[in-house]
Structure 1
Amino acid sequence: MAEVVTKGVGRVERTADRAEVQASFETVGSTRDEAVERLTARIAAVEPALGRSGVEVRSRQLNVHDNWDGKRRSGSRAAQNYVLRVDDPAELDGLLGALVTAEPTWLNGPTWQLKEDAEAVREAQREAVRDARRRAEGYAQALGVRLGPLLRLTDGDAEGWAVESSHRMLAAGYGGSPGVPPQVDQLNLEAQQITVTVRCTASWTLLD
């Protein structure tokens, strides 16, 4: 029994509805206690912003260590690292404005995501199978035969979520629109498109 094996690709675009932001605040002091005390004062203005509706603190990590100049201790450093999830994109500008105003050591984001991808994956799967069938029908026509029933279907190398232009670096600043520093206000922080890609491999019977 003759058969043909084809590969299919299905791609579906959806608008992201979740963003992730990472921020870090660091302070130095002559002792560990002094570095931590300064850090506590610095993030005091940050913590209230993390209680906004639609904002979830995924990780809050403290790091304290001594600085060394060769074999000589030269003060201490304290850092608080945050991983934040924003489930309401409308809250993103306000959150970033509050973080920037607090002068983070670094601020990374937003990285765009989908809350749920099941429906998009199913649609991409259907398109992948249709693509594989179209290819098989083309080969059958080229051979002057008919395409028979499906024999096997294998899930191919899925690419998962491919996010374009979703990663931005922000720097601290002041002034501008009320509650939003100018650097944040002027950036395009609209939710990005996310492409869900599914690949499959199908084997089909060829009929005379």
Structure 2
Amino acid sequence: MPRRIALAALVAPLLFAALLAAPAQASDAPPQRTLTITGEGEAVGVPDIAWIDTGVVTEGKTAAEALAANTRAMESVFKGLEEAGIEKRDMQTSQFSVYPVYEQMQPEDRPQTPKISGYRVQNQLTVRVRNLDALGGILDRVVSLGSNQLSGIRFSIDKPEPLIDEARRKAVADALRKAKLYAGAAGVALGPIQSISEGGVSMPQPMYMKAAMAMERDSSVPVAAGEQTLSANVTLVIRID
């Protein structure tokens, strides 16, 4: 029994010393070196969809008179758009307002309360056009049917996902290209990629085309959709040896 106690007393300090030494040895290992690099990629596409912001503004001596005139004009616009192939799901009222119109006052009459001379009704409609070849004719049609407010046209890409993926692939390729350049200049070798993170995808802002209201012509209004650019940004963390 005394020999067993003496042996245990000898082994215990050795085990304790080994446990203390293990973290110290691990901390002596050199830290892993990495290269953090960002890449950008772009993809260009042709817009295939457009939104028209159009509407009717009417005035009358009473609110009911202005509203009745506005309703008649908007019904003609809705009917004409349907005849032009626009589905109901692609037409949405975006603004509707009724407000008084005041008489213009002379400077000497300013202290007096402004008098209401009539009422104005505004009905704004957003129309999605899926066939850009028909866009010019649709613009002519809505104006001829009574639309006297056309604030602009927005062009966009209906399904941008394939272009976004193309931009992402180019962003990764750009990051790897730069990583190889920096590694070669620094005299180090690239190891495996440790992480990939997306810094964001930039969707194209809708392109606006201002449209004048003087469009009383027999031919369709000429329009140009142009191109749009989508971009992606990625960050790679790569081990270097």
Whole-Å separation in 1 of the counterparts to 2:45 and 2:86: 20
**TM-score normalised by structure 2 residue count:** 0.75
State yes or no: 1:16 paired with 2:47. Answer: yes
**TM-score normalised by structure 1 residue count:** 0.86
| Offset, 1:123 | 1.0
Whole-Å separation in 2 of the counterparts to 1:65 and 1:22: 21
> Aligned to 2:201, what secondary structure does the other structure show?
coil
What corresponds to 1:175 in structure 2? 217
Larger Rg: 2
What corresponds to 2:175 in structure 1? 132
Whole-Å separation in 1 of the counterparts to 2:235 and 2:205: 21
Q: After TM superposition, list the pairs within 5 Å mapping 1:11-90 onto structure 2.
A: 11-51=42-82, 52-55=84-87, 56-59=90-93, 61-69=95-103, 70-90=113-133
Task: Flag the 1:34–1:80 CA change in 2: closer, same or farther, 3 A.
Answer: same
Match of 1:197 among 231, 235, 239: 231
1:4 is aligned with what amino acid? L
Task: Flag the 1:54–1:28 CA change in 2: closer, same or farther, 3 A.
Answer: closer
| Offset, 1:73 | 2.3
Q: How many residues align?
A: 197
2:53 is aligned with what amino acid? Q
Structure with greater strand percent:
1
| Offset, 1:87 | 1.0
Whole-Å separation in 1 of the counterparts to 2:205 and 2:67: 39
Whole-Å separation in 2 of the counterparts to 1:200 and 1:106: 43
Contact 1:162 1:196 in 2 (8 A): no
Whole-Å separation in 1 of the counterparts to 2:212 and 2:224: 18
Post-superposition Cα deviations, 1:121-179, rounded to whole Å, max 9, x if no partner, equal 1111111001011111111000111111111111114322245xx311112231332xx
Contact 2:199 2:232 in 1 (8 A): yes
Whole-Å separation in 1 of the counterparts to 2:238 and 2:39: 13
Whole-Å separation in 1 of the counterparts to 2:148 and 2:86: 24
Whole-Å separation in 2 of the counterparts to 1:175 and 1:123: 42
- Identity score, percent: 25
Which aligned runs of 4 or more in structure 1 are off by greater than 6 angstroms? none
State yes or no: 1:3 paired with 2:34. Answer: yes
Task: Flag the 1:27–1:11 CA change in 2: closer, same or farther, 3 A.
Answer: same
What corresponds to 1:99 in structure 2? 142
Whole-Å separation in 1 of the counterparts to 2:225 and 2:86: 15
Contact 1:32 1:77 in 2 (8 A): yes
Contact 1:20 1:86 in 2 (8 A): yes
Runs of 5+ in structure 2 lacking a partner? Answer: 1-31, 104-112
What corresponds to 1:147 in structure 2? 190
Contact 2:47 2:225 in 1 (8 A): yes
Contact 1:162 1:195 in 2 (8 A): no
| Offset, 1:103 | 5.2
Structure with greater helix percent:
2
Q: What is the Cα-based RMSD across aligned positions, in Å?
A: 1.9
